[in-house]
Amino acid sequence: MAINLKKIVSEEVSEGEVYSFIGEITSEKITTILEEVERKLHTLEAVDQKTHKRLFYVGVESIQNLFHHAEGVFCKGIYNKRIKMVAIKILRTAKGFEFITWNFVTFDKIDKIAERIDSINKLTKEDLKEYYKMVLNNSQYSEKGGGGLGMIDIARKAEGRFSYEFKEIQKNLALFRLKIIINSN
Amino acid sequence: MEAIRIEGTPKTPSVSFDAYKGLLEIKGRSIPENSIEFYKPLIEWLDVYGASPAPLTTVDIQLEYFNTSSSKCILDVFKKLESIYKNGHEVVINWYYEEDDEDMLEAGEDYQSIIKIPFKMVELEG
């Protein structure tokens, strides 16, 4: 079954859309996306510097998370782990911004991702600070070069809760949607 | 000992490590996908520098943005400097942050609470 990510994402509410991207994520593409996001943010009116910077931080971490952790896709029936199709949307709301990402994950990753987000969602601002410092100082790097700090830092910067869902797409493949709320001051 | 001079890019900071002057600078953005690859030569340089450092090592960190993968590498740089300091050499870290950038100030304070070296917070006026 062909997966039409564009169709799935376009069915979402896009009121207040500031930026959107649907396609393959690569290292070069990250640079382009971040440049575009930054350019868009500069054109927005009444966004204070702090919110602007936080949006960019959240953008960097979440887009790099997509690059490192998104599942590859089947292309003409052949699995290619290096082709990672993702979607990104930034919406402006009455309270601030919503940063939404979509990527594919295999079923075996779902429980681990959900547990991670649920546990971070329960932490207070002070808990997050202590947790961040503890992980920062644990001298451990993942095989993908990450330090396990991405989601903690996003939660610190966003000061809002994550919401997420997994939608079964085909056998052993789900679409993971993550929404990060960034409140303006 | 040969100095390190690296030009900044949209994803990586400019770096200037001068052993003779004891002046180490990292400035700009540090948001590469693979931070370990970028910071490895800096850590290795510090290993050699630590054997006979300048009487005073001044470290200027002036970052606009850094990602979490860089944050661990920056801590690794600080840990190398901490060991130079513990061996009886003078080391001071100047952590620059823009006026009103409380996130960057807080990031500096996070490092300050982990690393036992004189750490100065320097506010840059906008």
Question: What is the value of ipTM here, to two decimals?
Answer: 0.92
Average pLDDT over residues A139-168: 84
Decide if A24 contacts A104 (C-beta within 8 A). no
State whether B71 and A147 contact (CB < 8 Å): yes
Q: Which domain holds residue B108?
A: 4-124
Q: Do B103 and A53 touch (CB under 8 A)?
A: yes
Subunit contact B69:A146, Cβ cutoff 8 A: yes
Q: How confident is the model at residue B39 (pLDDT cuts 50, 70, 90)?
A: very high
When pLDDT is cut at 50, 70 and 90, the band that residue A171 belongs to is confident
Q: Taking a contact as any Cβ pair under 8 Å apart, which residues of chain A between 24 and 53 contact chain B?
A: 27, 30-31, 34-35, 49-50, 53
pTM of the model: 0.91
The pLDDT of residue A1 is above 60: no
Which chain B residues in 10-29 lie under 8 Å from chain A, judged by CB atoms? 10-11
pLDDT higher than threshold 80 for residue A143: no
- B72 touching A (Cβ < 8 Å): yes
Instruction: Assign residue B85 the CATH number of its domain.
Output: 3.30.750
Determine the pLDDT at residue A75.
Answer: 65
- Residue A86 to residue A73: CA distance in whole angstroms: 10
Backbone dihedral angles phi then psi of residue A46, each to the nearest 5 degrees: 55, 40
User: Tokens in use for A92?
Assistant: 């402006």
Q: What is the pLDDT of residue A95?
A: 87
Domains of chain A: 5-107+160-183 (3.30.565)
CA of A1 vs chain B CAs: smallest distance (Å): 32
- Cα separation of the two ends of chain A: 45
A59 neighbourhood in chain B, CB within 8 Å: none
Q: Which of A57, A64, A133 sits opposite B33 (nearest CB)?
A: A64
Structure tokens at B29: 């953005």
B111: closest chain A residue by CA: A133
Q: Which helix (H) or strand (E) holds A160?
A: none
Contacting residues of B for A68, CB less than 8 Å apart: 33
Is the CB of residue B83 less than 8 Å from the CB of residue B49?
A: no
Q: Is A131 on the interface with B (CB under 8 A)?
A: no
Q: Which residues of A touch B103 (CB under 8 A)?
A: 50, 53-54, 57, 157
Q: What is the pLDDT of residue A68?
A: 87
pLDDT bucket at A145, cuts 50 / 70 / 90: low
Q: How near does any CA of chain B get to the CA of A58, in Å?
A: 9
Beta bridge partners of A89: A20, A100
Q: Does A56 touch chain B (CB under 8 A)?
A: yes
Kindly indicate the confidence band of residue B64, based on its pLDDT and cuts at 50, 70 and 90.
very high
With 80 as the cut, is the pLDDT of residue A54 above it?
A: yes
Residue range B78-86: mean pLDDT, rounded: 97
The total number of structural domains that make up chain B: 1
Q: Mean pLDDT score of chain B, rounded to an integer?
A: 95
